[in-house]
Amino acid sequence: MITKMDTGPKSSKLVTPKQDFGSLLRGELGSIDPKRLFFISDTHFDDDRKMQSRNRPFDDVESMNRAIVKNWNEAVGEGDIVIFVGDMTYKGADRDAAYWTERLHGNILFIKGNNDIGVENAQPHFTLTFKGKKFYIVHDPDGAPQRLGNDTWLIHGHMHDKDLDDFPFVHVTKKRINVSVEVLGYVPVSLDTLLSVELQKLKHVKRLADLSVPIANAA
């Protein structure tokens, strides 16, 4: 039985990309502060099966839900932007993505995951460019073009922490960034954090916690 959780202010929304995210979806960061732009994927709220199969460090699914919501809202301000890279809950869940976005801070640009059903205005993918760095964002890395170009990094979810040798937080040679919650430590990562390190000079970084630089996630 799933019981309703009290998660505080309902401050986020699934915004209409054409109205609110037009410049961002055209790949232009504009005046958006990279400290106020975040990435995360694969929260799988209410998904007891996923919690157990990925050995998530929670006693039960409600503890998992509360921890992810708390971590998200402590990192993200109400006026910030979160690019959610798919799979907010699971197919057939009693509480859909809209239920959870009402409890999460920030304006959420939703990239469609394989478990996301009926999410209005979800995007299949898009490309973001900032100060010479280009990022192609898609849920499943297999859904990205085979050739993205030498100047483009792939930001994806879907893989969780199943294979941290091939799908770590940062795969330098394949130019991939995995923003699945298990890899991030269950907290969104800011674009500022990604820009603050020289990605191409990193060694194989399996988890966000392995970065040797301060993580810029304070709201």
- Looking at per-residue pLDDT, the higher value among 8 and 39 belongs to 39
Domain 13-208: which topology?
Purple Acid Phosphatase; chain A, domain 2 (3.60.21)
pLDDT in tens, 89-123: 999 999 999 999 999 999 999 999 999 988 888 99
pLDDT in tens, 57-94: 999 999 999 999 999 999 999 889 999 999 999 999 99
DSSP string of the chain?
-PPPP-------EE--HHHHSHHHHTTB-TT--GGGEEEEB---TT-HHHHHHTT-S-SSHHHHHHHHHHHHHHHS-TT-EEEE-S-SS-TT-SS-HHHHHTTS-SEEEEBPPTT--S-TT-BSEEEEEETTEEEEEESSGGGS-S---TTEEEEE-SSTTS-TTTS-SEETTTTEEE-BHHHHTSS-EEHHHHHHS-GGG---B-SGGG-SS------
pTM, whole model, 2 decimals?
A: 0.87
Q: What's the whole-number average pLDDT of the chain?
A: 86
Q: Domain-by-domain residue ranges, the chain?
A: 13-208
Sheet holding 189-190, edge to edge: 13-14, 107-110, 81-84, 37-40, 189-190
Of the pLDDT bands very low, low, confident and very high (cuts 50, 70, 90), residue 213 is low
pLDDT in tens, 156-193: 999 999 999 999 999 998 999 999 999 999 999 999 99
